[in-house]
């Protein structure tokens, strides 16, 4: 992928005419949804139309496709057709993924595991360790329905913590669940700040009006970007494993954090000026 998806916006895969307009509204990534957004009797048609559209059109932003669950024939056909040739798809989001074996059997593609069942949270360690998996995402609506809980922050705190922990262990990016109240941007901002503070790299959106709030909550400002560059340079030039930088102790965990900060804005931390 070009960079971590910070504000990926869900878009029905049968609304292909919205893709260009959606990128113009400022999202860095679009999640084209073949699962929940497409009625059962339209899934085959939507899949084929998406394939044809991507053969004929190129986009500069990240295109993520949420396929149908791969434990049934519809999801398997999604993967088969959409990986048959180079369609400019950055990654495939697998919904309700609960075990690593099904992922391992897929073609050599980048996967975002959408964790939205109690079993997926239980098996997150083995799912996150599969080489094809590049990111983890929380599906809060389905998970809360399975748990019989609300979607409030505290209700899903354990799942969020597990996702951030496993993402860090396996060097994956992490996407927090969408905030469902479109009209309450203040509450979205508060939850986005909590997500970033916990360690998430981004938060999914369900409406363009949410994009600016999410991006402003997650994207480092110019001062933070320059600080990360300076710290990494100073550490690379040093001969010791621990250095002091403007009164702060800098060691490898801090460097890894600074590298992730740069990756959020598409800067390769291994190749900085």
Give the sign of the dihedral formed by CA 136, CA 101, CA 169, CA 268.
negative
pLDDT for 253: 85
pLDDT for 1: 61
Helices (H), the chain: 19-24, 43-56, 73-82, 100-104, 118-122, 124-128, 140-147, 157-169, 185-198, 211-218, 222-237, 252-264
Q: Is the pLDDT of residue 2 over 60?
A: no
Tens digits of per-residue pLDDT, 71-95?
A: 999 999 999 999 977 889 999 999 9
Q: What percent of the chain has pLDDT over 90?
A: 78
Tens digits of per-residue pLDDT, 254-269?
A: 998 898 888 878 888 8
Q: What is the DSSP letter of 11?
A: E
Q: How confident is the model at residue 122 (pLDDT cuts 50, 70, 90)?
A: very high
């Amino acid at each position: 992928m070009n960079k971590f998806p910070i504000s990926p916006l869900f878009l029905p895969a049968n609304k292909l005419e919205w893709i260009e307009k959606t990128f113009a509204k400022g999202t860095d990534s679009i999640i084209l949804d073949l699962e929940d957004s497409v009625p059962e009797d339209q899934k085959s048609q939507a899949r084929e139309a998406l394939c044809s559209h991507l053969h004929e059109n190129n986009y500069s932003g990240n295109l993520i496709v949420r396929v149908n669950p791969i434990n049934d024939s519809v999801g398997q056909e999604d993967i088969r057709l959409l990986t048959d040739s180079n369609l400019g798809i950055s990654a495939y989001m697998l919904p309700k993924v609960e075990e690593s074996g099904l992922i391992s059997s897929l073609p050599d593609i980048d996967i975002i595991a959408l964790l939205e069942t109690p079993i997926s949270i239980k098996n997150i360690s083995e799912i996150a360790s599969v080489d094809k998996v590049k990111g983890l995402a929380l599906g809060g609506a389905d998970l809360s329905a399975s748990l019989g809980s609300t979607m409030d922050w505290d209700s899903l705190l354990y799942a969020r913590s597990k996702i951030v922990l496993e993402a860090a262990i396996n060097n994956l990016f992490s996407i927090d669940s969408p905030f469902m109240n479109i009209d309450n941007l203040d509450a979205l901002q508060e939850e986005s700040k909590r997500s970033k503070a916990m360690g998430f790299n981004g938060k999914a959106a369900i409406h363009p009006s949410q994009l600016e709030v999410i991006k402003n909550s997650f994207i480092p400002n110019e001062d933070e970007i320059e600080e990360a560059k300076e710290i990494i340079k100073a550490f690379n030039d040093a001969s010791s494993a621990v250095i002091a930088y403007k009164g702060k102790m800098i060691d490898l965990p801090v460097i890894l954090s600074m590298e992730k900060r740069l990756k959020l804005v598409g800067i390769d931390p291994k190749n900085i000026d």
